[in-house]
């Protein structure tokens, strides 16, 4: 299939600190941005003809002035790295050969095939509570139905006849290439298409990995406490005993993780480094290093659930933990939380040496081809960009309403994702608040996600599918419930 539009590269992760002197302030922001862009081109994360974001958009994304971006773009245009034309997006120049931009030992210029097609089943909407504070649900009203439908039509129209009957044990290659390039750009992952396994979602990927780990002799897996129960339950059904490890404001406690591993013999861990669910922490730099060292020293495998990685509002996202140890870390992702769970498609980026048996229930070929189209045509990046703006504003509005309605309660969690944690006042039980809620107000207690230790009395408030027009009324209803539950019995 011939591409009619350039690859939209708005989600490419740019590391402005890479290669800087210890006193990074000595290096101008403009120079650091130039270096980051050159590195992205040299490493193949920004391929030829990829369209970069407008200067104002990139400035807002990475937290610099627009002048910094326009100056960096101008310098790289002058060098022939970028190409700027009136009335068109700034693009990576077709003549910008990665070998001429080598910036370090990891730079490379892998051969890249360009995906095809598009596909997949119809999207079914499920009735939602009017005042919807359920966590883990994206904005269903904003599901990009027309773009996904277009991807499906293109897939069906352009799939070669020979591919329709051919087996694709690890997934349709053009879709695996598209996913690998997306992960390389947006998550700075070390992503070889041959290591990408297409799945029905993160749960499916976890099931495949847990089964393979059990086959290899693993009998336990370290899990965050609290954490999303579905993935640890899947691991348990595969024969891996979950070992809870506490989480605080820096993410999972890496020292306790190492102690628990030594005590139980566990050599596998399931973590959410980008945005821990439900406490809302990001794994700190020091603990990221500790986790990687533990994995290397103990021949261990880390399963990285890339939950909410696309949505960070106070700063640019950090790279996937997988980049620090691609030989030790499996990266799980899907479109379920970022686009819609109805699409039923995801991926697992596997470390070398882990080759699960070919799946007998992979996503349909048409769905996989649609995913390739959805990524290559820039529809995924457009959707993520729009979602990030919408969620950032909704989160701010929700926080304002909580400050007005419940001024004595302080929500916690980094400015990211689609949920926040609301601690309850002394003497107020989360179970009582939930029990008093009517059917049209959906709220979730923190203790639902406890893996071992008793959870504090708090609510996990999801705002992904919360109607913007109902934010204040939702919080008013919630406030009334909390005050009623906290009132002393007469």
Range in 39-48, 66-75, 351-360 the model is least confident about:
351-360
Instruction: For helices 365-376 and 379-405, give the axis angle rounded to 10 degrees.
Output: 80
- Asked if residue 115 has pLDDT above 70, the reply is no
pLDDT of 67 strictly over 90: no
Based on the fold, state whether residues 248 and 346 are members of the same structural domain.
yes
CATH number at residue 198: 3.40.640.10
Residue 213 CA, chain-centre distance (Å), reads 23
pLDDT exceeds 60 at position 112: no
- The domain that holds 60 is classified in CATH as 1.10.10.10
CA-to-CA distance for 378 and 386, rounded, in angstroms? 12
Structure tokens at 130: 């009017």
Residue with tokens 């081809």, as numbered in its chain = 369
Query: Does the pLDDT value for residue 386 go beyond 80?
Result: yes
Are 50 and 169 found together in one domain?
no
Closest CA to 121 of 91, 96, 143: 143
Q: Where are the alpha helices (H) located in 127-282, listed in sequence order?
A: 145-158, 161-164, 173-186, 202-215, 229-237, 254-264
Domain tally, the chain: 2
pLDDT value of residue 487: 83
pLDDT the model gives residue 121: 34
Q: Among 114-118, 234-238, 432-436, name the one with the lowest average pLDDT.
A: 114-118
**What is the pLDDT averaged over residues 327-336?**
96
Label residue 278 by pLDDT band (50, 70, 90). Answer: very high
Task: Look at residue 388 and tell me if it is in a domain.
Answer: no
298 and 184 in one domain? yes
Residues 243 and 364 in one domain: yes
Residue 453 maps to a domain: no
Which of these three, 101, 126, 143, is where a domain ends?
101
Look up residue 21 and give its two tokens.
């002197």
pLDDT for 358 equals 66
Residue after which a domain boundary falls, among 51, 77, 101:
101
Closest CA relative to residue 195, chosen from 223, 215, 164, 173: 173
**Rounded mean pLDDT of 84-92?**
80
pLDDT at residue 373 greater than cutoff 60: yes
> Is residue 490 situated within a structural domain?
no
Per-residue confidence (pLDDT) for residue 489, from 0 to 100: 57
Question: In this structure, are 355 and 210 located in the same domain?
Answer: yes
Q: Which of 75, 101, 127 is the last residue of a domain?
A: 101
Which residues have a Cβ under 8 Å from the Cβ of 226 and sit 6 or more positions away?
A: 247, 278, 279, 446, 447, 449, 450, 451, 455
- 143-152, 156-165, 322-331, 373-382: range with lowest mean pLDDT: 156-165
Residue 401 token pair: 């309403």
Summarize the confidence of residues 13-20 as an average pLDDT.
70
* Model pLDDT, residue 59: 87
Residue 442 within any structural domain of the chain? no
Q: How confident is the model at residue 78 (pLDDT cuts 50, 70, 90)?
A: confident
In a domain? residue 421: no
- The mean of the pLDDT values for the chain is 87
- Based on the fold, state whether residues 94 and 173 are members of the same structural domain: no
Read off the pLDDT band of 84 (50, 70, 90): confident
How are beta strands 220-225 and 131-132 bridged, if at all?
unpaired
The domain in which residue 223 lies consists of 164-376
How many residues make up the chain in this entry?
A: 490
* Across 433-443, average pLDDT: 92
d(CA 84, CA 319): 28
* Tokens, residue 305: 């659930």
Q: Alpha-carbon torsion 191, 340, 393, 445, what sign?
A: negative
Q: Is the pLDDT of residue 3 over 60?
A: no
401 found inside a domain: no
pLDDT at 291: 98
For the segment 404-417, the average pLDDT, to the nearest whole number, is: 95
The band of 118, judged by pLDDT with boundaries at 50, 70 and 90, is very low
Please give the Cα distance from 367 to 363 (Å, whole number).
Answer: 6
Dihedral angle sign, alpha carbons of residues 436, 439, 442, 446 = positive
pLDDT computed for residue 391 by the predictor: 96
CA 26 to CA 81: how far, in whole Å?
25
Same domain for 339 and 227: yes
Do 224 and 370 share a domain, yes or no?
Answer: yes
Specify whether 172 is located in the same domain as 303. yes
The answer to whether residues 60 and 172 belong to one domain is no
pLDDT greater than 70 at residue 20: no
With respect to residue 393, please indicate whether it lies within any of the assigned structural domains.
no
Same domain, 182 and 315: yes
Shared domain check, 214 and 360? yes
When pLDDT is averaged across residues 125-152 and rounded to a whole number, the result is 89
Residue 187 has pLDDT above 80, yes or no: yes
pLDDT above 50 (res 114): no
Among 278-287, 342-351, 404-413, 480-489, the least confident range? 480-489
Top pLDDT among 21 and 76 is at: 76
Residue 317 is assigned to a structural domain of this protein: yes
In the numeric block, which tokens belong to residue 313?
């509002």
- Lowest model confidence (mean pLDDT) among 22-26, 252-256, 294-298, 368-372: 22-26
pLDDT of 141-180, one tens digit each? 999 999 999 999 999 999 999 888 887 877 899 999 999 9
Mean pLDDT lowest for which of 55-64, 365-374, 466-475?
Answer: 55-64
Query: Which of 421-448 are b and which e, b meaning 16 or more Cβ less than 10 Å from the residue's Cβ?
Result: bbbbeeebebebbbeebeeebbbbbbbb
């Amino acid at each position: 299939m011939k591409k009619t539009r350039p690859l939209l590269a708005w989600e490419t992760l740019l590391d402005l600190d890479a290669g800087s002197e210890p006193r990074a302030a000595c290096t101008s922001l403009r120079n650091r941005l130039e270096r980051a862009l050159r590195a992205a081109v040299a490493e193949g994360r920004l391929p030829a003809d990829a369209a970069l974001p407008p200067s104002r958009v990139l400035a807002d994304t990475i937290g610099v002035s627009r002048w910094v971006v326009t100056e960096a773009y101008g310098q790289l245009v002058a060098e022939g790295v970028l190409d700027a034309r009136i009335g068109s997006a700034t693009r990576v120049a077709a003549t910008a050969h990665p070998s001429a931009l080598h910036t370090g030992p990891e730079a490379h210029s892998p051969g890249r095939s360009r995906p095809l097609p598009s596909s997949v089943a119809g999207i079914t909407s499920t009735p939602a509570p009017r005042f919807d504070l359920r966590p883990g649900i994206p904005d269903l009203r904003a599901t990009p139905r027309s773009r996904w439908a277009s991807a499906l039509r293109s897939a069906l129209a352009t799939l070669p006849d020979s591919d329709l009957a051919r087996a694709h044990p690890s997934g349709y290659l053009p879709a695996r290439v598209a996913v690998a390039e997306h992960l390389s750009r947006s998550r700075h992952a070390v992503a070889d298409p041959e290591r990408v396994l297409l799945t029905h979602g993160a749960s499916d990927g976890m099931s495949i990995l847990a089964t393979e780990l059990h086959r290899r002799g693993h009998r336990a897996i370290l899990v965050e406490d609290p954490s999303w129960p579905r993935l640890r339950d899947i691991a348990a059904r595969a024969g891996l005993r979950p070992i809870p490890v506490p989480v605080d404001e820096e993410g999972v406690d890496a020292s306790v993780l190492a102690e628990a591993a030594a005590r139980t013999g566990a050599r596998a861990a399931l973590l959410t480094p980008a945005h821990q669910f439900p406490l809302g922490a990001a794994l700190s730099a020091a603990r990221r290093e500790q986790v990687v060292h533990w994995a290397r020293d103990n021949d261990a495998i880390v399963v990285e659930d890339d939950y909410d990685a696309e949505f960070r509002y106070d700063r640019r996202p950090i790279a996937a933990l997988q980049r620090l140890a691609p030989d030790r870390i499996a990266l799980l992702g899907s479109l379920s939380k970022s686009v819609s769970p109805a699409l039923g498609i995801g991926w697992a980026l596997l470390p070398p040496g882990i080759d699960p048996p070919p799946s007998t229930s992979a996503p349909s070929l048409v769905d996989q081809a649609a995913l390739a189209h959805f990524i290559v045509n820039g529809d995924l990046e457009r959707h993520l960009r729009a979602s990030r703006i919408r969620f950032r504003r909704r989160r701010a509005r929700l926080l304002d309403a909580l400050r007005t309605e419940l001024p004595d309660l302080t929500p916690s969690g980094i400015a990211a994702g689609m949920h926040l944690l609301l601690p309850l006042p002394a003497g107020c039980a989360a179970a009582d608040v939930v029990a008093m809620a009517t059917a049209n107000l959906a709220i979730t207690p923190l203790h639902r996600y406890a893996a071992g230790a008793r959870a504090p009395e708090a609510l996990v408030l999801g705002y992904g599918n919360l109607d913007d027009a109902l934010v204040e009324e939702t919080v008013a209803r919630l406030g009334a419930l909390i005050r009623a539950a906290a009132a002393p019995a007469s």
